[in-house]
A and B are shown apart, each in its own frame.
Chain A
Amino acid sequence: MSMKKTLMISALAAALSTSVIGVASAATPQQTTATAPFNVMVNDSSIQVRSIQANGTTLVSLRDIGSATGALFVVNVKSGVTAYIQGHSVELHAGSAAAMVDGEQVDLQQAVVSVNGSYYISIEDFVGAFGVDGAMDDAGKAWIDSVERIHADTISWINAGQLLASTLSDEGRTDYIVDAKTSAFTKVLSSDSASELSVSPDGKKAAYTDDDGAVYVIDLTSKSFNSQTVTADNSIKPELVWSADGSAIYFLQSDKGTVIQKLNVADGKLTQVLSDKVDYKSNLSVSTDGTKFFYVVSKPGAVTADANKPVDVDDVAIDTTGTEPQIYFFDASVKDAAAGTKLTSSTDDKIFVGAAADGSKAYYISAVDGQPSSLVAVAQDKTVTKLIGDKDVLQAAFAGDKIYALTDAGEQTALYEVDAVSGTSKLIANLDGNVSEVVAAPGAPAAVVIDDMTYVVDGGSLMKVTK
């Protein structure tokens, strides 16, 4: 048995030590009671399973709870039971606290008990050996989740009912469409050379670049997810931004992101939107009408170094003054406009930058050393307004006229919905766990990533969609 699994089983036992389901030594002689019905939540439905008490611990019928989670059972010749679930095998033996999971031994906290030919197992051991999710609510009720899901390293909304989930590895990436209600998933693309997919606002297309910089568009509505080359232009394109109508893709060209280019999806024609010799643009946002552009400019520090002096003299000086990122605005509808306008000049960090659909203002999180970060709007006239100024704002995601923000709430993370027009905000949820991201899109509910798993915020509950 691997150390990793030993530690995890131990952590599980510790986590459940205060629950109504106790943990007993596997070596303790078994004193069991008669079977009794026991309620447990499996995949959000309440089911009744047979149970016994063994040394004061509740053990549940392996067949009852296993069948409810989709496991298939085979009784083998050595008087043991082998269960098959989601491509894994779990072998158990009566009186033994050792399970074989895919041929590898996993120690159980409590020996499996056989009563009248039926196997009984503690719920925490079932969860550990069968690789399903389990939890205990405040009332002491056990919840088990065995729906097959993919793991997602990145997640975004396609439309109100579907998400785009991507798994990453050293070999490349695989992208899936995930149903937001059922967690069912369909593979779209698996590639060692494709960039992340950028989904069009209507959710029907997704764009990506290959290693050379060529741009492709996938038809997300086709069964085979057909992909077409839009342009073979091999310039560097760090980020692709769709126009609101899906007819064009904007990008910042070159490794320095100096030029804003427009790529016409229908014919691959490239049109230069802005070339003002200002380097290191990033975080491009485009208004619905395609005329107003917001972006961030990061200015590198100024270095003075005398190459004529010996290297070991270290005659180097770095001036980082003015290197904080600044928000810029460019209005392509203004005749002969040739340069972006710097909207901010403050020394705060500006992250999670987005823009109003009408191009009237940009939004960002303002981070200042030693102070709580705030959610801020800056208008074309450079007026700065705080949308959330009394909490430490950690993340923001933009969804049309709504902004979803994660704020620090001590042991929890709070999720707020902000009306970008009125500036009012309301608390949606206080979230436990390691909340790493909020995901939003116009017309779609918010989703959050907690402990690497994606949950859709559905009224007063969280629905897990990736594991």
Chain B
Amino acid sequence: MKTKWFRNLGLAVMALSLTFGSVSAVSASSKLSGRIVINGSSALLPLTLQASNEFKKLNPKVKISASAAGSVTGPQSVRKGIADIGACDWDASTSVPGFAAFSGQVANKVAVIPFAAVTNGSVGVSSLSTSDLQGIFSGKITNWKDVGGKDAKIVVVNRAFGSGTRVNFQLKALNGTDFMTKGDNYKEVKSSGDMKTAIETTPGAIGYIDLVYVSGSKMKAVSINNVAPTEANVINGTYKVWSYGYYMTKGQPTGAVKAFIDYVQSSKFQNGSLKKLKFIPLAAMKK
């Protein structure tokens, strides 16, 4: 061979650091291997699957299986030892209304998720106060005219127990007050998709949903205390109904699990696919 292609790693790395700094990349010949099982939040599932597609290109020996059945099943699966990562819309290492802390688990932030109170498009209300919401979701306020809307019966649509969206809405929109649990004007749904369908097709309905699902004229996202549920208002701190999305792990993550979480937290993913899926990057909350 006439000339061997050569490169002096020490020199190259030094030159880089003296100028702009470096961004780490995983080698195509990465020997990282293993299987990662992820379960939990349905809101985080699209993000997880997209990250999985991208991560496997950097680590072709790592297999990833993802599933969703509600946030609480994430830390439950980790505690039971059937999942490596529990995707959850709240920090399950701490206690929240209805759920004790999952001790020994570490909450790894991966995204910011805004939530919105949503109504059927015909109710005639554009903003509700915290007090209004507490009255409506507890069943004490039953007609839209009592909160400035049309003379129409209110139908409360709630997410089933175990939903991360429900936990966050109760904590941050209702300040921890209880939901009504039964009655003619009460429905329970199991997913964000079902919530969207129920709100769009039920006259007088009110519920709550990830902001990403809000589209079209059949469903309306209402302001809370006159603050609109927008990404900008989440970032500037005026809109309070949002949460970090977490990957719960049993202790500090290691190996392929750590590498996967690192990838989801990387600038490449946060400012790339995560934003395209309409989550808010973690770094946006630090500004």
Which residues of A are at the interface with B, using a C-beta cutoff of 8 A?
4-5, 8-9, 11-12, 14-16, 86, 88, 101, 124, 127-128, 131-138, 151, 153-154, 168-173, 193, 195-196, 209, 211, 213, 234-238, 255-257, 280, 282-283, 296, 298, 300-305, 307, 311-312, 314-318, 320, 323-324, 349, 351-352, 365, 367, 369, 373, 394-395, 406, 408, 413, 429, 431-438, 449-453, 460-462, 467
Q: Which of B48-101 contact A (CB under 8 A)?
A: 49-50, 52-53, 56-58, 60-61, 63, 65-70, 72-73, 76-77, 79-80, 82-83, 99-100
Residues of chain A within 8 A of B35, CB atoms compared: 369
B122-130, B238-246, B273-281 - the one binding chain A: B273-281
Known: A8-B17, A316-B69, A318-B37. A135 touches B8 (CB 8 A): yes
Complex CA gap A395/B27 in Å reads 10
The answer to whether A394 and B60 have CB atoms under 8 Å apart is yes
The answer to whether A151 and B15 have CB atoms under 8 Å apart is no
Residues of chain B within 8 A of A438, CB atoms compared: 28
The answer to whether B6 and A137 have CB atoms under 8 Å apart is yes
Residues of chain B within 8 A of A138, CB atoms compared: 3-4, 6
Complex CA gap A324/B278 in Å reads 26
Complex CA gap A298/B52 in Å reads 10
Complex CA gap A341/B30 in Å reads 33
The contact string, 1 if C-beta is below 8 Å from chain A, for chain B 1-40, is 0111111111111111111101111111100000101010
The answer to whether B150 has its CB under 8 Å from any CB of chain A is: no
CB distance from A173 to the nearest CB of B (A): 6
Pick from B50, B60, B271: contact of A365, CB below 8 A.
Answer: B60
The answer to whether B57 and A351 have CB atoms under 8 Å apart is yes
Extra pairs beyond A169-B267, A303-B73, A316-B73 (12, CB < 8 Å): A15-B10, A131-B15, A135-B6, A151-B22, A211-B278, A316-B69, A316-B77, A349-B60, A408-B29, A434-B25, A452-B24, A460-B3
Residues of chain B within 8 A of A168, CB atoms compared: 23, 267-268, 271-272
Dominant SS at the A interface?
A: mixed
Complex CA gap A411/B13 in Å reads 19
Residues of chain A within 8 A of B65, CB atoms compared: 301, 318, 320, 323
Pick from A135, A311, A437, A451: contact of B13, CB below 8 A.
Answer: A451
Residues of chain B within 8 A of A127, CB atoms compared: 11, 14-15
Residues of chain A within 8 A of B68, CB atoms compared: 300, 303
The answer to whether A209 and B276 have CB atoms under 8 Å apart is yes
The answer to whether B100 and A8 have CB atoms under 8 Å apart is no
Closest 6 CB pairs of A and B: A301-B67, A131-B18, A303-B69, A15-B10, A170-B283, A255-B46
Complex CA gap A275/B61 in Å reads 32
Look across to chain B and name the residue whose beta carbon is closest to the beta carbon of A238: B276
The answer to whether A320 and B37 have CB atoms under 8 Å apart is yes
Complex CA gap A42/B230 in Å reads 54
Residues of chain A within 8 A of B22, CB atoms compared: 151, 452
Residues of chain B within 8 A of A312, CB atoms compared: 100
Q: List 8 A-B contacts (CB under 8 A).
A: A8-B17, A11-B14, A131-B14, A153-B267, A209-B276, A300-B67, A395-B60, A429-B5
The answer to whether B28 and A413 have CB atoms under 8 Å apart is yes
The answer to whether A394 and B28 have CB atoms under 8 Å apart is yes
Residues of chain B within 8 A of A14, CB atoms compared: 10
The answer to whether B15 and A133 have CB atoms under 8 Å apart is yes
Complex CA gap A394/B28 in Å reads 6
Complex CA gap A169/B283 in Å reads 10
Known: A11-B14, A298-B53. A16 touches B6 (CB 8 A): no
The answer to whether B215 has its CB under 8 Å from any CB of chain A is: yes
The answer to whether B162 has its CB under 8 Å from any CB of chain A is: yes
Known: A311-B99, A316-B73, A316-B80. A172 touches B271 (CB 8 A): yes
Residues of chain A within 8 A of B79, CB atoms compared: 314
Complex CA gap A127/B20 in Å reads 16
CB distance from B284 to the nearest CB of A (A): 8
The answer to whether A195 and B272 have CB atoms under 8 Å apart is yes
The answer to whether B179 has its CB under 8 Å from any CB of chain A is: no
Residues of chain A within 8 A of B69, CB atoms compared: 303-305, 316
Residues of chain A within 8 A of B10, CB atoms compared: 8, 11-12, 14-16
The answer to whether B12 and A451 have CB atoms under 8 Å apart is yes
The answer to whether B67 and A101 have CB atoms under 8 Å apart is no
Residues of chain A within 8 A of B4, CB atoms compared: 137-138
CB distance from B111 to the nearest CB of A (A): 12
CB distance from B68 to the nearest CB of A (A): 6
Complex CA gap A302/B67 in Å reads 7
Known: A8-B17, A365-B60. A136 touches B6 (CB 8 A): yes
Most A CB contacts (10 A, CB to CB) among B15, B58, B65, B70 go to B15
Residues of chain A within 8 A of B272, CB atoms compared: 168, 195-196
The answer to whether A307 and B160 have CB atoms under 8 Å apart is yes
Complex CA gap A452/B24 in Å reads 7
CB distance from A354 to the nearest CB of B (A): 12
Look across to chain A and name the residue whose beta carbon is closest to the beta carbon of B25: A436
The answer to whether B231 has its CB under 8 Å from any CB of chain A is: yes
Pick from A86, A255, A365, A432: contact of B5, CB below 8 A.
Answer: A432
The answer to whether B161 has its CB under 8 Å from any CB of chain A is: yes
Residues of chain A within 8 A of B50, CB atoms compared: 238, 282
The answer to whether A235 and B14 have CB atoms under 8 Å apart is no
The answer to whether A88 and B18 have CB atoms under 8 Å apart is yes
The answer to whether A318 and B39 have CB atoms under 8 Å apart is yes
CB distance from B216 to the nearest CB of A (A): 10
Complex CA gap A171/B20 in Å reads 15
The answer to whether A435 and B37 have CB atoms under 8 Å apart is no
CB distance from B38 to the nearest CB of A (A): 9
CB distance from B25 to the nearest CB of A (A): 4
The answer to whether B141 has its CB under 8 Å from any CB of chain A is: no
Residues of chain A within 8 A of B227, CB atoms compared: none
CB distance from B212 to the nearest CB of A (A): 7
CB distance from A263 to the nearest CB of B (A): 15
Pick from A137, A211, A449: contact of B231, CB below 8 A.
Answer: A211
The answer to whether B278 and A8 have CB atoms under 8 Å apart is no
Residues of chain B within 8 A of A433, CB atoms compared: 7, 9
The answer to whether A461 and B28 have CB atoms under 8 Å apart is no
Complex CA gap A133/B18 in Å reads 11
Look across to chain A and name the residue whose beta carbon is closest to the beta carbon of B63: A349
The answer to whether A349 and B20 have CB atoms under 8 Å apart is no
The answer to whether B278 and A236 have CB atoms under 8 Å apart is yes
The contact string, 1 if C-beta is below 8 Å from chain A, for chain B 218-240, is 00000000000001000000000
Complex CA gap A86/B9 in Å reads 21
Complex CA gap A205/B181 in Å reads 55
